[in-house]
């Protein structure tokens, strides 16, 4: 078993986006971050090169997700208290007394309950897992993703792709 580690800051796994943490006293307004995505993958080495996973493959997969979010306003489709309505090419949304309209092309709506670093970490972990599974990887035990809101603060989520008991 071995763990691969990609540092988002140095490996270029980044995106710059705006978000709103609805209801939060200071983060409840539209603001942005330069996000860095750290990825750790734990699994068995295999194949011709005895890799857990080729770094190039992981980077491609993570960059695809970053590109979808980059330079957009990220909105949580599954937020319980945000009302959305698509009016032609404009998205209208409302949280309590706050109403917004924005061109739909400037927005990415994600199927998550909020756009905190915590929920984004979970979203990235699930998406990366799906993509690696689709690419045929079956040697991976867990994937861990940290979403850093700038340098020095982030949320980390780990997803097990299969059961694992520590070797003794
Ligand atoms: Zn924020």
Q: What average pLDDT does the structure give for the chain?
A: 96
Give the pLDDT of residue 77. 98
Dist. CA 4–CA 107, nearest whole Å: 33
Q: How far is the CA of 108 from the centre of ligand 1 (A)?
A: 16
Catalytic residue status for 149: yes
Tell me the CA distances in angstroms from 73 to 18, 86, 106, one per residue in order. Answer: 5, 15, 6
Q: How confident is the model at residue 168 (pLDDT cuts 50, 70, 90)?
A: low
Catalytic residue among 24, 67, 71, 99: 71
Q: How far is the CA of 9 from the centre of ligand 1 (A)?
A: 18
Q: Which CATH architecture has domain 2-160?
A: 2-Layer Sandwich (3.30)
Q: How confident is the model at residue 137 (pLDDT cuts 50, 70, 90)?
A: very high
pLDDT above 90 for 167: no
When pLDDT is averaged across residues 137-142 and rounded to a whole number, the result is 95
Q: Where do the structural domains in the chain lie, given as residue ranges?
A: 2-160
When pLDDT is averaged across residues 36-52 and rounded to a whole number, the result is 95
Q: How confident is the model at residue 164 (pLDDT cuts 50, 70, 90)?
A: confident
């Amino acid at each position: 078993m071995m763990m691969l580690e990609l540092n988002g800051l140095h490996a270029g796994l980044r995106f710059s986006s705006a978000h709103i943490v609805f209801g939060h006293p200071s983060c409840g307004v539209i603001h942005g971050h330069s996000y860095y995505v750290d990825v750790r993958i734990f699994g068995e080495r295999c194949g011709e090169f005895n890799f857990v996973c080729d770094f190039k493959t992981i980077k491609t997969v993570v960059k695809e997700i970053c590109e979808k979010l980059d330079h957009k306003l990220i909105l949580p489709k599954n937020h319980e208290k945000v009302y959305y309505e698509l009016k032609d090419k404009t998205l209208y949304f409302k949280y309590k007394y706050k109403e917004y309209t924005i061109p739909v092309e400037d927005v990415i709506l994600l199927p998550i309950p909020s756009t905190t670093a915590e929920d984004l970490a979970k979203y990235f972990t699930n998406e990366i897992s799906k993509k690696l599974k689709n690419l045929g990887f079956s040697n991976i035990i867990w994937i861990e993703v940290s979403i850093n809101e700038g340098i020095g603060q982030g949320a980390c989520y780990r997803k097990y792709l299969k059961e694992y008991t520590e070797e003794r």
